[in-house]
């Protein structure tokens, strides 16, 4: 409770700083180490979501950072609370997402004794974060929190961890609030844009690749208009499909796992590649085979908000240190008159690749369900997922139309979809939210279904249940055919699981039954789980487990 002397506790100052910096949602699992912060939240108007595991809470905050571009915030307790939160910190790092994790710490006079649950956060999170710190002077809370927001959100965004010793949180202090942080837009220089115009005008087969963070709907629309004007083909990197309207006549598809071979060919044979916002990491670069390292084989322009990313892997012919938002605005002013790309042909390839679901073994065709969802979900619906082979059908067949319509980890962390869906439904109560999860993936954070029930969040979770850790089984059959170990799963009754938590549960064993089950899930008004009975043979949209095993055996038998 706030004192009458105009002094605030460090915890109260901290919560007031969150408000100053525009935070609306806080995710947490409580701990005795930061009771004073919880008490300060009691008096604030911030929406607090209490979760079942810090892994879920921190991923929810990360999802907020992804969808809004502003730091997501979570509070976890010391030691085990902090280590449970580490998957989300790693995701925020690899996905370039602004995230601030506040962690309880032992009292200042007990530090360095390995007190109860004590951890050296600088050592533990040092290589995973942009910044880790421990505050111990209440008067410096406004300064430290302000730096945390600036650091997490600016340049290449990423995670920040702030450790809060328990005893310091209740100390009273007279200190002023910091001003609100503002995102710093790094804009391209006129000489760089002039050079880019020359390169584009001279190119015969250019390609624009979009990735990374620091985007907005406006930036995506701006790039879309520029592309259309000059028929410039545009593709997206792994799990960044939402950065461009899939039905823009220049959209060429996404560079993920199992991309359209025609797209890969088109990029390899292009004479100019402009990479906007992304790092072109291992997955989109097709295991670093797409562009030569360090000097790409074609003229290569890299636009990135983090100066340290320019020249880190690829040595660009032209490096532009700019945020995608600022670059998109500058791009609209650019006039490379003679530019005429192959946008229409690239888009025709994309449409043909994604038009119809491929044939699959078993009663439920996940591709057909994605096609149904893309045709029947309202335009403002959000899709969330984690990692597993099931996601291949989302990437291939769902056509994302707007920014942040897809919330999923480029870092390939399982267990992300359920917490992300909870966060999206908390943030946007009026927008339909669908989570697609694998059976393995779902149970890594399935406990957060309880959080959805607790807050009355009617999201719909589709569990693609094939009874296996399918991705790993696929690799296993390729490398060690027939030697199946540790990839089979005996699953619970997922529909009954949903009902036991107080939600809606259903099961679909035939594709044709899906629309009715989906309608019933939505009509229930409750958080819902629909189990999809997927044949384990249906391992990717283009092949089966049996075929992978047979090929591997045949390759081994060959002299």
Ligand X SMILES: Cc1ncc(C[n+]2csc(CCOP(=O)(O)OP(=O)(O)O)c2C)c(N)n1
Residues that bind Mg ion (CB under 5 A): 438-440, 466, 470
Which listed option, Mg ion, ligand X, none, makes contact with residue 501 (CB within 5 to 8 Å by class)? none
449-468 binders of ligand X (CB under 6 A) = 464, 466, 468
Q: How far is the CB of 40 from ligand X (least distance, A)?
A: 33
Residue 380 is classified by DSSP as: T
Q: What is the DSSP string of 107-126?
A: -GGGTTS--TT---HHHHHT
| Dihedral (CA of 344, 348, 349, 354) sign | positive
Q: How far is the CB of 439 from Mg ion (least distance, A)?
A: 4
CA distance 300 to 470: 37
CA distance 390 to 536: 11
Stretch that binds ligand X, among 18-26, 99-107, 435-443, 551-559 (CB under 6 A): 435-443
> Which C-beta is closer to ligand X: that of 259 or that of 277?
259
The number of angstroms, rounded, from the C-alpha of 159 to the middle of its chain's C-alpha atoms is 13
CA distance 12 to 323: 34
SS3 for 262? helix
Is 469 in contact with 491 (CB distance < 8 Å)? Answer: no
CA distance 249 to 313: 31
> Which C-beta is closer to ligand X: that of 382 or that of 414?
414
Q: Is 441 in the site for ligand X (CB under 6 A)?
A: yes
Q: How far is the CB of 444 from ligand X (least distance, A)?
A: 6
Which listed option, Mg ion, ligand X, none, makes contact with residue 413 (CB within 5 to 8 Å by class)? ligand X
The number of angstroms, rounded, from the C-alpha of 162 to the middle of its chain's C-alpha atoms is 22
> Which C-beta is closer to ligand X: that of 56 or that of 470?
470
> Which C-beta is closer to ligand X: that of 30 or that of 80?
80
371-430 binders of ligand X (CB under 6 A) = 387-390, 412-414
Q: Is 230 in the site for ligand X (CB under 6 A)?
A: no
Which listed option, ligand X, Mg ion, none, makes contact with residue 313 (CB within 5 to 8 Å by class)? none
Q: Identify whether 331 is preceded by a cis peptide bond (ω within 30 of 0).
A: no
507-536 binders of ligand X (CB under 6 A) = none
Tell which one of 54, 254, 439, 448 touches ligand X (CB under 6 A).
Answer: 439
Is 13 in contact with 169 (CB distance < 8 Å)? Answer: no
Q: The tokens of 363 are what?
A: 């009663």
> Which C-beta is closer to Mg ion: that of 523 or that of 542?
542
Instruction: Select the residue whose beta carbon is closest to ligand X and give its number.
Output: 438
SS3 for 460? strand
Tell which one of 158, 336, 440, 446 touches ligand X (CB under 6 A).
Answer: 440
Q: Is 34 in the site for ligand X (CB under 6 A)?
A: no
Q: How far is the CB of 76 from ligand X (least distance, A)?
A: 18
Is 260 in contact with 350 (CB distance < 8 Å)? Answer: yes
What residue spans of 157-209 are helical by DSSP H?
Answer: 190-202
CA distance 368 to 358: 8
CA distance 347 to 350: 5
Q: Which of 228, 233, 177 is nearest to 205 (CA)?
A: 233
> Which C-beta is closer to ligand X: that of 367 or that of 438?
438
> Which C-beta is closer to ligand X: that of 134 or that of 441?
441
Which listed option, ligand X, Mg ion, none, makes contact with residue 472 (CB within 5 to 8 Å by class)? ligand X
Q: Is 541 in the site for ligand X (CB under 6 A)?
A: no
Q: Is 470 in the site for ligand X (CB under 6 A)?
A: yes
The H-or-E segment that residue 272 falls in is strand 272-276
Tell which one of 49, 471, 511, 540 touches ligand X (CB under 6 A).
Answer: 471
Tell which one of 149, 226, 469, 518 touches ligand X (CB under 6 A).
Answer: 469
SS3 for 131? strand
Which listed option, ligand X, Mg ion, none, makes contact with residue 223 (CB within 5 to 8 Å by class)? none
Q: The tokens of 98 are what?
A: 């602004």
The residues of the shown chain that bind ligand X, judged by CB under 6 A, are 387-390, 412-414, 438-441, 464, 466, 468-472
């Amino acid at each position: 409770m706030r004192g009458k002397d105009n002094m605030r506790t460090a915890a109260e100052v901290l919560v007031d700083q969150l408000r100053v910096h525009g935070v609306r949602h806080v995710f947490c699992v409580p701990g005795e180490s930061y009771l004073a912060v919880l008490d300060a939240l009691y008096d604030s108007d911030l929406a607090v979501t209490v979760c079942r595991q810090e892994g879920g809470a921190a991923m929810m905050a990360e999802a907020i950072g992804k969808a809004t571009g502003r730091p997501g915030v979570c509070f976890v307790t010391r030691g085990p609370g902090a280590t449970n939160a580490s998957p989300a910190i790693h995701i925020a790092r690899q996905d370039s997402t602004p995230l601030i994790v506040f962690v309880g710490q032992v009292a200042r006079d007990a530090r360095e004794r390995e007190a109860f649950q004590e951890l050296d956060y600088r050592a533990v999170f040092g290589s995973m974060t942009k910044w880790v710190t421990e505050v111990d002077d209440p008067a410096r809370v406004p300064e430290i929190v302000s730096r945390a927001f600036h650091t997490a959100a600016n340049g290449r965004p990423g995670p920040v961890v702030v450790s809060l010793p328990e005893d310091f949180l209740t100390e009273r202090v007279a200190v002023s609030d910091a001003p609100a942080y503002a995102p710093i837009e790094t804009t391209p220089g006129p000489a760089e844009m002039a050079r880019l115009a020359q390169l584009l005008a001279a190119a015969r087969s250019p390609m624009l690749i979009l990735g990374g963070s620091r985007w907005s709907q406006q930036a995506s629309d701006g790039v879309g208009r520029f592309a259309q004007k000059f028929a410039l083909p545009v593709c997206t990197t792994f799990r960044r499909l939402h950065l461009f309207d899939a039905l823009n006549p220049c959209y060429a598809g996404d560079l993920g796992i199992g991309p359209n071979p025609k797209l890969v060919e088109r990029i390899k044979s292009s004479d100019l590649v402009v990479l906007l916002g992304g790092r072109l990491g291992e997955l989109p670069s097709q295991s670093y085979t797409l562009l030569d390292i360090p000097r790409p084989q074609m003229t290569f322009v890299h636009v990135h908000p983090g100066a340290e990313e320019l020249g880190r892997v690829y040595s660009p012919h032209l490096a532009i240190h700019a945020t995608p938002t600022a670059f998109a605005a500058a791009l609209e002013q650019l006039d490379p008159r003679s530019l005429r790309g192959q946008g229409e042909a690239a888009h025709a390839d994309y449409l043909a690749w994604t038009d119809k679901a491929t044939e699959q073994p078993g009663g439920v065709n996940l591709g057909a369900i994605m096609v149904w969802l893309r045709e029947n979900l309202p335009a403002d619906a959000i899709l969330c997922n984690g990692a597993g082979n099931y996601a291949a059908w989302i990437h291939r067949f769902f056509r994302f139309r707007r920014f942040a319509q897809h919330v999923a980890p480029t870092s390939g962390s399982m267990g992300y979809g359920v917490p992300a869906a909870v966060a999206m439904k908390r943030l946007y109560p009026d927008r339909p939210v669908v989570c697609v999860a694998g059976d393995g993936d779902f149970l890594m954070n399935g406990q957060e279904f309880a959080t959805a029930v607790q807050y009355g969040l009617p999201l719909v979770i589709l569990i693609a249940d094939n009874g296996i850790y399918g991705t790993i089984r696929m690799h296993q059959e390729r490398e060690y055919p027939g030697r199946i170990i540790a990839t089979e799963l005996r699953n619970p009754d997922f529909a009954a699981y949903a009902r036991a938590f107080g939600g809606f549960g259903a099961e679909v064993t035939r594709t044709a039954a899906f629309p009715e089950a989906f309608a019933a899930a939505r009509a229930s008004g409750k958080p819902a789980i629909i189990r999809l009975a997927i044949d384990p043979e249906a391992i990717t949209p283009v092949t089966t487990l049996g075929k992978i095993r047979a090929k591997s055996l045949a390759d081994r038998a060959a002299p």
